Chain A
Amino acid sequence: MDNQGDIWEVFIQSKPGLAHKHVGSVHGMGKEMALQNARDMYTRRQEGTCIWVVKHADIIASVPEEDGSFFDPSNDKIYREATYYTMPEGAKNI
Protein backbone atom coordinates (compact mmCIF):
# COMPACT_ATOMS: atom_id res chain seq x y z
CA MET A 1 0.00 0.00 0.00
CA ASP A 2 1.44 3.36 -0.89
CA ASN A 3 1.06 6.67 0.90
CA GLN A 4 -1.78 8.74 -0.55
CA GLY A 5 -1.27 11.69 1.80
CA ASP A 6 -3.61 13.08 4.46
CA ILE A 7 -7.33 13.66 3.97
CA TRP A 8 -8.30 17.35 4.10
CA GLU A 9 -11.89 18.56 4.38
CA VAL A 10 -12.74 21.37 1.96
CA PHE A 11 -14.94 24.42 2.66
CA ILE A 12 -15.82 26.87 -0.10
CA GLN A 13 -17.25 30.37 0.01
CA SER A 14 -19.26 30.66 -3.20
CA LYS A 15 -19.37 34.48 -3.16
CA PRO A 16 -18.34 37.33 -0.86
CA GLY A 17 -20.67 37.69 2.10
CA LEU A 18 -21.64 34.01 2.35
CA ALA A 19 -20.38 31.46 4.86
CA HIS A 20 -17.86 28.80 3.86
CA LYS A 21 -19.68 25.56 3.19
CA HIS A 22 -18.37 21.99 3.36
CA VAL A 23 -18.15 20.41 -0.11
CA GLY A 24 -16.13 17.21 0.40
CA SER A 25 -12.53 16.20 0.87
CA VAL A 26 -9.23 15.91 -0.99
CA HIS A 27 -5.96 14.12 -0.47
CA GLY A 28 -2.81 16.21 -0.20
CA MET A 29 0.74 16.05 1.03
CA GLY A 30 0.94 19.26 3.06
CA LYS A 31 -1.36 22.27 3.24
CA GLU A 32 -0.25 23.94 -0.01
CA MET A 33 -0.94 20.87 -2.09
CA ALA A 34 -4.24 20.29 -0.30
CA LEU A 35 -5.32 23.83 -1.21
CA GLN A 36 -4.29 23.45 -4.85
CA ASN A 37 -5.95 20.05 -5.14
CA ALA A 38 -9.12 21.48 -3.62
CA ARG A 39 -9.07 24.27 -6.23
CA ASP A 40 -8.65 21.79 -9.10
CA MET A 41 -11.27 19.44 -7.77
CA TYR A 42 -14.03 21.71 -6.50
CA THR A 43 -13.75 25.01 -8.42
CA ARG A 44 -13.34 24.09 -12.11
CA ARG A 45 -16.39 26.22 -12.94
CA GLN A 46 -15.95 29.34 -10.80
CA GLU A 47 -17.73 27.82 -7.82
CA GLY A 48 -15.82 29.83 -5.25
CA THR A 49 -14.15 33.04 -4.11
CA CYS A 50 -12.32 31.46 -1.15
CA ILE A 51 -11.31 27.96 -0.05
CA TRP A 52 -10.46 26.60 3.40
CA VAL A 53 -8.82 23.20 3.88
CA VAL A 54 -8.70 21.54 7.31
CA LYS A 55 -6.99 18.26 8.14
CA HIS A 56 -9.73 15.65 8.58
CA ALA A 57 -8.02 14.36 11.75
CA ASP A 58 -8.26 17.83 13.35
CA ILE A 59 -12.06 18.03 13.13
CA ILE A 60 -13.99 17.22 16.29
CA ALA A 61 -17.55 16.09 15.58
CA SER A 62 -20.49 15.22 17.82
CA VAL A 63 -21.52 11.56 17.95
CA PRO A 64 -24.88 10.66 16.37
CA GLU A 65 -25.73 8.03 19.05
CA GLU A 66 -25.52 10.75 21.68
CA ASP A 67 -27.52 13.29 19.70
CA GLY A 68 -30.49 13.02 22.04
CA SER A 69 -28.65 13.97 25.21
CA PHE A 70 -26.14 16.24 23.47
CA PHE A 71 -28.80 18.52 22.04
CA ASP A 72 -31.12 18.09 25.01
CA PRO A 73 -30.39 21.53 26.61
CA SER A 74 -32.11 23.31 23.69
CA ASN A 75 -35.20 21.08 23.60
CA ASP A 76 -37.36 22.66 26.29
CA LYS A 77 -36.67 26.37 25.91
CA ILE A 78 -39.30 27.49 23.50
CA TYR A 79 -39.12 30.99 25.04
CA ARG A 80 -36.01 31.39 22.84
CA GLU A 81 -38.29 31.61 19.80
CA ALA A 82 -39.91 34.91 18.81
CA THR A 83 -43.21 33.16 18.17
CA TYR A 84 -43.48 32.24 21.89
CA TYR A 85 -44.59 35.76 22.87
CA THR A 86 -48.08 37.22 22.75
CA MET A 87 -48.19 40.70 21.22
CA PRO A 88 -50.96 43.20 22.03
CA GLU A 89 -53.59 43.18 19.32
CA GLY A 90 -53.07 45.90 16.75
CA ALA A 91 -49.35 46.43 17.46
CA LYS A 92 -47.45 46.89 14.21
CA ASN A 93 -43.89 46.38 12.94
CA ILE A 94 -42.93 43.97 15.74
Chain B
Amino acid sequence: MTLVIVFYDLKIVNCELNIKTNNNMSDLEKFLEKIEENIKIEPKDWMPDDYRKHLQRQMSQHAHSEVIGMQPEGNWVLRAPSLRAKVILLAKIQDEAGHGQYLYSAAETLGKSRSTYINELQTRKAKYSSIFNYPTLTWADMGAVGWLVDGAAIVNQVSLQKTSYGPYSRAMVKICKEESFHQRQGYEIISNMAKGTPEQKQMAQDALDRFWWPSIMMFGPHDADSSRSENAMKWKIKNETNDQLRQKFIDKTIQQAEIIGLTIPDKDLRWNDETNHYDFGEIDWDEFWNVVKGNGPCNDDRIEHHIKAHEDGAWVREAAIAYAEKNG
Protein backbone atom coordinates (compact mmCIF):
# COMPACT_ATOMS: atom_id res chain seq x y z
CA MET B 1 0.00 0.00 0.00
CA THR B 2 2.78 2.37 0.95
CA LEU B 3 4.65 1.58 -2.25
CA VAL B 4 1.67 2.40 -4.38
CA ILE B 5 1.31 5.81 -2.74
CA VAL B 6 4.96 6.59 -3.35
CA PHE B 7 4.64 5.74 -7.04
CA TYR B 8 1.52 7.73 -7.32
CA ASP B 9 3.23 10.83 -5.84
CA LEU B 10 6.20 10.45 -8.17
CA LYS B 11 3.87 10.32 -11.08
CA ILE B 12 2.31 13.62 -10.08
CA VAL B 13 5.73 15.23 -9.68
CA ASN B 14 6.79 13.98 -13.11
CA CYS B 15 3.64 15.21 -14.65
CA GLU B 16 4.14 18.70 -13.23
CA LEU B 17 7.74 18.77 -14.41
CA ASN B 18 6.64 17.87 -17.91
CA ILE B 19 4.11 20.65 -18.00
CA LYS B 20 6.70 23.12 -16.83
CA THR B 21 9.19 22.05 -19.49
CA ASN B 22 6.55 22.25 -22.18
CA ASN B 23 5.65 25.77 -21.15
CA ASN B 24 9.26 26.86 -21.33
CA MET B 25 9.63 25.24 -24.70
CA SER B 26 6.63 27.06 -26.02
CA ASP B 27 7.96 30.38 -24.68
CA LEU B 28 11.21 29.81 -26.54
CA GLU B 29 9.35 28.64 -29.63
CA LYS B 30 7.12 31.69 -29.56
CA PHE B 31 10.18 33.91 -29.17
CA LEU B 32 12.02 32.27 -32.07
CA GLU B 33 8.92 32.47 -34.23
CA LYS B 34 8.73 36.23 -33.65
CA ILE B 35 12.42 36.59 -34.54
CA GLU B 36 11.83 34.53 -37.70
CA GLU B 37 8.88 36.70 -38.73
CA ASN B 38 10.67 39.96 -37.89
CA ILE B 39 8.19 40.85 -35.15
CA LYS B 40 9.96 43.07 -32.59
CA ILE B 41 10.54 41.81 -29.06
CA GLU B 42 9.17 44.24 -26.46
CA PRO B 43 10.28 44.73 -22.83
CA LYS B 44 7.55 42.65 -21.17
CA ASP B 45 7.76 39.76 -23.66
CA TRP B 46 9.43 36.53 -22.62
CA MET B 47 13.03 36.35 -23.88
CA PRO B 48 15.94 33.95 -23.29
CA ASP B 49 18.36 35.07 -20.57
CA ASP B 50 21.25 35.12 -23.02
CA TYR B 51 19.31 37.42 -25.36
CA ARG B 52 18.61 39.81 -22.48
CA LYS B 53 22.25 39.71 -21.32
CA HIS B 54 23.58 40.22 -24.83
CA LEU B 55 21.38 43.30 -25.25
CA GLN B 56 22.26 44.69 -21.82
CA ARG B 57 25.93 44.42 -22.72
CA GLN B 58 25.67 45.75 -26.27
CA MET B 59 23.22 48.58 -25.56
CA SER B 60 25.05 49.85 -22.46
CA GLN B 61 28.35 49.69 -24.34
CA HIS B 62 26.69 51.74 -27.07
CA ALA B 63 25.34 54.27 -24.51
CA HIS B 64 28.72 54.54 -22.76
CA SER B 65 30.36 55.21 -26.15
CA GLU B 66 28.04 58.15 -26.82
CA VAL B 67 28.76 59.63 -23.40
CA ILE B 68 32.54 59.06 -23.35
CA GLY B 69 32.61 60.29 -26.97
CA MET B 70 31.79 63.79 -25.72
CA GLN B 71 35.23 64.08 -24.10
CA PRO B 72 37.55 64.17 -27.15
CA GLU B 73 35.24 66.78 -28.72
CA GLY B 74 34.76 68.77 -25.51
CA ASN B 75 38.54 69.23 -25.67
CA TRP B 76 38.04 71.68 -28.57
CA VAL B 77 34.98 73.73 -27.55
CA LEU B 78 37.04 76.56 -26.05
CA ARG B 79 39.50 76.53 -28.96
CA ALA B 80 37.07 76.33 -31.89
CA PRO B 81 38.34 78.65 -34.65
CA SER B 82 35.08 80.62 -35.08
CA LEU B 83 31.77 81.25 -33.36
CA ARG B 84 30.05 79.21 -36.07
CA ALA B 85 32.39 76.28 -35.45
CA LYS B 86 31.82 76.58 -31.71
CA VAL B 87 28.00 76.54 -31.76
CA ILE B 88 28.05 73.61 -34.19
CA LEU B 89 30.45 71.65 -31.98
CA LEU B 90 28.32 72.38 -28.90
CA ALA B 91 25.17 71.23 -30.71
CA LYS B 92 26.91 68.03 -31.77
CA ILE B 93 28.14 67.29 -28.25
CA GLN B 94 24.64 67.95 -26.88
CA ASP B 95 23.31 65.43 -29.42
CA GLU B 96 25.83 62.83 -28.20
CA ALA B 97 24.57 63.35 -24.64
CA GLY B 98 21.01 62.90 -25.92
CA HIS B 99 21.98 59.73 -27.80
CA GLY B 100 23.53 58.32 -24.65
CA GLN B 101 20.29 59.07 -22.79
CA TYR B 102 18.07 57.41 -25.44
CA LEU B 103 20.24 54.31 -25.21
CA TYR B 104 20.34 54.18 -21.40
CA SER B 105 16.55 54.58 -21.38
CA ALA B 106 16.17 51.73 -23.85
CA ALA B 107 18.69 49.58 -21.92
CA GLU B 108 16.78 50.18 -18.68
CA THR B 109 13.72 48.45 -20.16
CA LEU B 110 15.76 45.23 -19.81
CA GLY B 111 15.40 45.40 -16.04
CA LYS B 112 18.74 46.91 -15.04
CA SER B 113 18.97 50.38 -13.52
CA ARG B 114 20.89 53.34 -14.91
CA SER B 115 22.97 53.53 -11.71
CA THR B 116 24.09 49.95 -12.27
CA TYR B 117 25.08 50.62 -15.89
CA ILE B 118 27.04 53.73 -14.89
CA ASN B 119 28.73 51.87 -12.08
CA GLU B 120 29.81 49.13 -14.52
CA LEU B 121 31.39 51.78 -16.75
CA GLN B 122 33.23 53.46 -13.89
CA THR B 123 34.54 50.18 -12.49
CA ARG B 124 35.57 49.15 -16.04
CA LYS B 125 33.34 46.07 -16.10
CA ALA B 126 31.64 47.58 -19.15
CA LYS B 127 33.44 48.74 -22.29
CA TYR B 128 32.89 51.59 -24.71
CA SER B 129 34.13 52.07 -28.25
CA SER B 130 37.94 52.02 -28.32
CA ILE B 131 38.10 54.92 -30.75
CA PHE B 132 37.50 57.36 -27.88
CA ASN B 133 40.74 56.31 -26.22
CA TYR B 134 42.70 58.20 -28.88
CA PRO B 135 43.50 61.88 -28.28
CA THR B 136 42.26 64.79 -30.43
CA LEU B 137 45.45 66.74 -31.02
CA THR B 138 44.49 69.40 -33.58
CA TRP B 139 41.36 71.10 -34.93
CA ALA B 140 41.60 68.84 -37.98
CA ASP B 141 40.82 65.96 -35.63
CA MET B 142 37.32 67.44 -35.15
CA GLY B 143 36.96 66.99 -38.89
CA ALA B 144 38.31 63.44 -38.86
CA VAL B 145 36.13 62.43 -35.90
CA GLY B 146 32.93 63.71 -37.53
CA TRP B 147 33.75 62.34 -40.97
CA LEU B 148 35.26 58.96 -40.04
CA VAL B 149 34.15 58.09 -36.51
CA ASP B 150 30.57 59.30 -36.93
CA GLY B 151 30.64 57.93 -40.47
CA ALA B 152 31.54 54.46 -39.20
CA ALA B 153 28.97 54.77 -36.41
CA ILE B 154 26.26 55.66 -38.96
CA VAL B 155 26.97 52.54 -41.05
CA ASN B 156 26.62 50.45 -37.91
CA GLN B 157 23.54 52.28 -36.63
CA VAL B 158 21.65 52.28 -39.92
CA SER B 159 21.96 48.50 -39.84
CA LEU B 160 20.86 48.38 -36.18
CA GLN B 161 17.59 50.19 -36.97
CA LYS B 162 16.34 46.72 -37.95
CA THR B 163 17.45 45.10 -34.70
CA SER B 164 14.95 42.67 -33.14
CA TYR B 165 14.55 44.49 -29.78
CA GLY B 166 11.86 47.18 -30.11
CA PRO B 167 13.24 49.89 -27.77
CA TYR B 168 16.75 49.54 -29.26
CA SER B 169 15.39 49.76 -32.79
CA ARG B 170 13.35 52.89 -31.98
CA ALA B 171 16.36 54.57 -30.34
CA MET B 172 18.44 53.79 -33.45
CA VAL B 173 15.85 55.31 -35.81
CA LYS B 174 15.92 58.51 -33.78
CA ILE B 175 19.71 58.60 -33.54
CA CYS B 176 20.21 58.00 -37.27
CA LYS B 177 17.98 60.97 -38.10
CA GLU B 178 20.24 63.23 -36.05
CA GLU B 179 23.59 61.70 -36.88
CA SER B 180 23.95 62.71 -40.52
CA PHE B 181 24.59 66.34 -39.57
CA HIS B 182 27.50 65.09 -37.45
CA GLN B 183 29.24 63.43 -40.34
CA ARG B 184 28.62 66.30 -42.74
CA GLN B 185 29.97 68.95 -40.35
CA GLY B 186 33.14 66.87 -39.87
CA TYR B 187 33.65 66.39 -43.60
CA GLU B 188 33.14 70.13 -44.10
CA ILE B 189 35.90 70.90 -41.56
CA ILE B 190 38.41 68.48 -43.07
CA SER B 191 37.64 69.42 -46.68
CA ASN B 192 38.09 73.13 -45.85
CA MET B 193 41.45 72.40 -44.27
CA ALA B 194 42.48 70.19 -47.19
CA LYS B 195 42.01 73.12 -49.58
CA GLY B 196 43.71 75.64 -47.24
CA THR B 197 47.42 76.44 -46.84
CA PRO B 198 49.98 73.62 -47.21
CA GLU B 199 50.24 73.52 -43.41
CA GLN B 200 46.47 73.18 -43.06
CA LYS B 201 46.39 70.45 -45.69
CA GLN B 202 49.15 68.67 -43.81
CA MET B 203 47.10 68.84 -40.61
CA ALA B 204 44.11 67.33 -42.42
CA GLN B 205 46.27 64.50 -43.80
CA ASP B 206 47.81 63.90 -40.38
CA ALA B 207 44.35 63.62 -38.79
CA LEU B 208 43.30 61.12 -41.48
CA ASP B 209 46.54 59.16 -40.94
CA ARG B 210 45.88 58.84 -37.21
CA PHE B 211 42.13 58.17 -37.34
CA TRP B 212 41.82 55.85 -40.36
CA TRP B 213 42.87 52.55 -38.81
CA PRO B 214 41.17 53.07 -35.42
CA SER B 215 37.98 53.98 -37.36
CA ILE B 216 37.90 50.75 -39.32
CA MET B 217 38.66 48.86 -36.10
CA MET B 218 35.38 50.29 -34.71
CA PHE B 219 33.48 47.48 -36.45
CA GLY B 220 35.18 44.97 -34.17
CA PRO B 221 37.18 41.78 -34.85
CA HIS B 222 36.89 39.78 -38.07
CA ASP B 223 33.77 37.58 -38.15
CA ALA B 224 35.85 34.45 -37.65
CA ASP B 225 37.28 35.88 -34.40
CA SER B 226 34.08 37.44 -33.06
CA SER B 227 32.76 35.08 -30.41
CA ARG B 228 29.47 36.91 -29.86
CA SER B 229 28.49 37.39 -33.49
CA GLU B 230 26.78 34.04 -33.91
CA ASN B 231 24.09 34.62 -31.27
CA ALA B 232 23.67 38.25 -32.31
CA MET B 233 22.96 37.17 -35.91
CA LYS B 234 20.75 34.23 -34.90
CA TRP B 235 18.54 36.49 -32.77
CA LYS B 236 18.72 39.31 -35.34
CA ILE B 237 20.17 41.73 -32.80
CA LYS B 238 22.59 42.35 -35.66
CA ASN B 239 21.62 41.77 -39.27
CA GLU B 240 25.01 42.33 -40.86
CA THR B 241 28.40 41.08 -39.68
CA ASN B 242 31.40 43.14 -38.55
CA ASP B 243 33.25 42.49 -41.82
CA GLN B 244 30.24 43.33 -44.01
CA LEU B 245 29.74 46.65 -42.23
CA ARG B 246 33.46 47.49 -42.32
CA GLN B 247 33.55 46.84 -46.09
CA LYS B 248 30.51 49.07 -46.60
CA PHE B 249 32.21 51.92 -44.73
CA ILE B 250 35.50 51.56 -46.62
CA ASP B 251 33.75 51.39 -50.00
CA LYS B 252 31.85 54.63 -49.44
CA THR B 253 34.64 56.60 -47.75
CA ILE B 254 37.49 56.23 -50.27
CA GLN B 255 35.88 58.45 -52.91
CA GLN B 256 35.28 61.10 -50.24
CA ALA B 257 39.02 61.16 -49.43
CA GLU B 258 40.01 61.29 -53.10
CA ILE B 259 37.75 64.21 -53.95
CA ILE B 260 39.35 66.41 -51.27
CA GLY B 261 42.88 65.36 -52.24
CA LEU B 262 43.76 63.33 -49.15
CA THR B 263 45.39 59.90 -49.14
CA ILE B 264 44.10 56.95 -47.10
CA PRO B 265 47.12 55.53 -45.25
CA ASP B 266 46.87 51.98 -46.63
CA LYS B 267 49.21 50.91 -49.44
CA ASP B 268 47.21 47.73 -50.07
CA LEU B 269 44.01 49.61 -50.83
CA ARG B 270 42.76 48.90 -54.37
CA TRP B 271 39.52 48.32 -56.23
CA ASN B 272 38.73 44.69 -56.92
CA ASP B 273 36.71 44.20 -60.12
CA GLU B 274 35.75 40.67 -59.18
CA THR B 275 34.29 41.38 -55.76
CA ASN B 276 33.12 44.91 -56.61
CA HIS B 277 34.66 46.07 -53.35
CA TYR B 278 37.93 47.62 -52.23
CA ASP B 279 40.65 45.28 -50.96
CA PHE B 280 42.47 46.68 -47.97
CA GLY B 281 45.49 45.94 -45.80
CA GLU B 282 45.67 43.85 -42.64
CA ILE B 283 44.44 45.55 -39.49
CA ASP B 284 46.81 45.68 -36.51
CA TRP B 285 44.76 43.56 -34.12
CA ASP B 286 47.42 43.69 -31.42
CA GLU B 287 46.86 47.43 -31.20
CA PHE B 288 43.07 46.90 -31.16
CA TRP B 289 43.14 44.40 -28.28
CA ASN B 290 45.70 46.46 -26.40
CA VAL B 291 43.39 49.50 -26.43
CA VAL B 292 40.31 47.37 -25.62
CA LYS B 293 42.16 45.99 -22.60
CA GLY B 294 42.71 49.49 -21.26
CA ASN B 295 46.18 50.39 -22.53
CA GLY B 296 45.27 53.00 -25.14
CA PRO B 297 46.60 56.55 -24.94
CA CYS B 298 43.57 57.95 -23.05
CA ASN B 299 41.73 55.05 -21.33
CA ASP B 300 42.56 56.22 -17.81
CA ASP B 301 41.82 59.90 -18.54
CA ARG B 302 38.39 59.10 -19.96
CA ILE B 303 37.20 57.07 -16.96
CA GLU B 304 38.79 59.37 -14.38
CA HIS B 305 37.10 62.37 -16.01
CA HIS B 306 33.74 60.57 -16.04
CA ILE B 307 34.03 59.69 -12.35
CA LYS B 308 35.06 63.25 -11.45
CA ALA B 309 32.14 64.82 -13.36
CA HIS B 310 29.78 62.28 -11.78
CA GLU B 311 31.04 62.97 -8.25
CA ASP B 312 31.13 66.72 -8.76
CA GLY B 313 27.45 66.53 -9.74
CA ALA B 314 26.40 64.57 -6.64
CA TRP B 315 25.32 67.67 -4.68
CA VAL B 316 23.14 68.77 -7.62
CA ARG B 317 21.29 65.45 -7.60
CA GLU B 318 20.85 65.63 -3.83
CA ALA B 319 19.54 69.20 -3.99
CA ALA B 320 17.17 68.27 -6.83
CA ILE B 321 15.77 65.36 -4.82
CA ALA B 322 15.30 67.55 -1.73
CA TYR B 323 13.52 70.16 -3.87
CA ALA B 324 11.28 67.58 -5.51
CA GLU B 325 10.35 66.07 -2.14
CA LYS B 326 9.38 69.49 -0.82
CA ASN B 327 7.45 70.65 -3.89
CA GLY B 328 6.02 67.35 -5.18
CB of B320 within 8 Å of the partner chain: yes
Q: Are A30 and B328 in contact (CB-based, < 8 A)?
A: yes
B112 → A minimal CB distance (Å)? 12
Kindly supply a per-residue 1/0 record for chain A positions 30-41, scoring 1 wherever the CB is within 8 Å of any chain B CB and 0 otherwise: 111100000011
A33 → B minimal CB distance (Å)? 6
Number of chain A residues whose Cβ lies closer than 8 Å to a Cβ of chain B: 24
A80 → B minimal CB distance (Å)? 25
Kindly supply a per-residue 1/0 record for chain A positions 16-34, scoring 1 wherever the CB is within 8 Å of any chain B CB and 0 otherwise: 0000000111110111110
Q: Are A24 and B105 in contact (CB-based, < 8 A)?
A: yes
CB of A46 within 8 Å of the partner chain: no
Q: Are B320 and A33 in contact (CB-based, < 8 A)?
A: yes
A5 to B320, CA, bound (A): 9
- Of B98, B114, B328, the residue contacting A40 (CB under 8 A) is B98
Residues of B within 8 A of A44 (CB): 94-95, 98, 178
Known: A1-B119, A26-B101, A33-B320. A45 touches B178 (CB 8 A): yes
Number of chain B residues whose Cβ lies closer than 8 Å to a Cβ of chain A: 33
Residues 19-53 of B contacting A (Cβ, < 8 Å): 42, 44-46
Q: Are B101 and A29 in contact (CB-based, < 8 A)?
A: no
Q: Are A25 and B105 in contact (CB-based, < 8 A)?
A: yes
CB of A94 within 8 Å of the partner chain: no
Residues of B within 8 A of A4 (CB): 113-115, 118, 317
A18 → B minimal CB distance (Å)? 18
CB of B272 within 8 Å of the partner chain: no
CB of B324 within 8 Å of the partner chain: yes
CB of B288 within 8 Å of the partner chain: no
Known: A41-B98, A44-B95, A64-B45. A3 touches B321 (CB 8 A): yes
Q: Are B42 and A64 in contact (CB-based, < 8 A)?
A: yes
Most chain B C-beta atoms within 10 Å of own C-beta, residue among A5, A27, A29: A29
Residues of A within 8 A of B98 (CB): 40-41, 44
Residues 280-327 of B contacting A (Cβ, < 8 Å): 310, 314, 317-318, 320-321, 323-324, 327
Q: Are A27 and B114 in contact (CB-based, < 8 A)?
A: yes
Q: Are B115 and A1 in contact (CB-based, < 8 A)?
A: yes
Residues 49-107 of B contacting A (Cβ, < 8 Å): 94-95, 98, 101-102, 105-106
Q: Are A29 and B46 in contact (CB-based, < 8 A)?
A: no
Query: Hey, which bits of chain B sit against chain A, CB under 8 A?
Result: 42, 44-46, 94-95, 98, 101-102, 105-106, 108, 113-116, 118-119, 167, 170-171, 174, 178, 310, 314, 317-318, 320-321, 323-324, 327-328
Q: Considering the complex of A and B, which 9 residue pairs feature the smallest CB-CB distances, nearest first?
A: A30-B324, A29-B320, A29-B324, A1-B115, A25-B105, A4-B114, A29-B321, A64-B45, A64-B44
Query: Hey, which bits of chain A sit against chain B, CB under 8 A?
Result: 1-5, 7, 23-27, 29-33, 40-41, 44-45, 61, 63-65
- Given A2-B317, A64-B42, 19 other A-B contacts at CB below 8 A? A1-B115, A2-B310, A3-B317, A4-B115, A5-B321, A7-B105, A7-B108, A24-B105, A24-B170, A25-B105, A27-B114, A29-B317, A30-B323, A30-B327, A33-B324, A41-B102, A44-B95, A63-B44, A64-B46
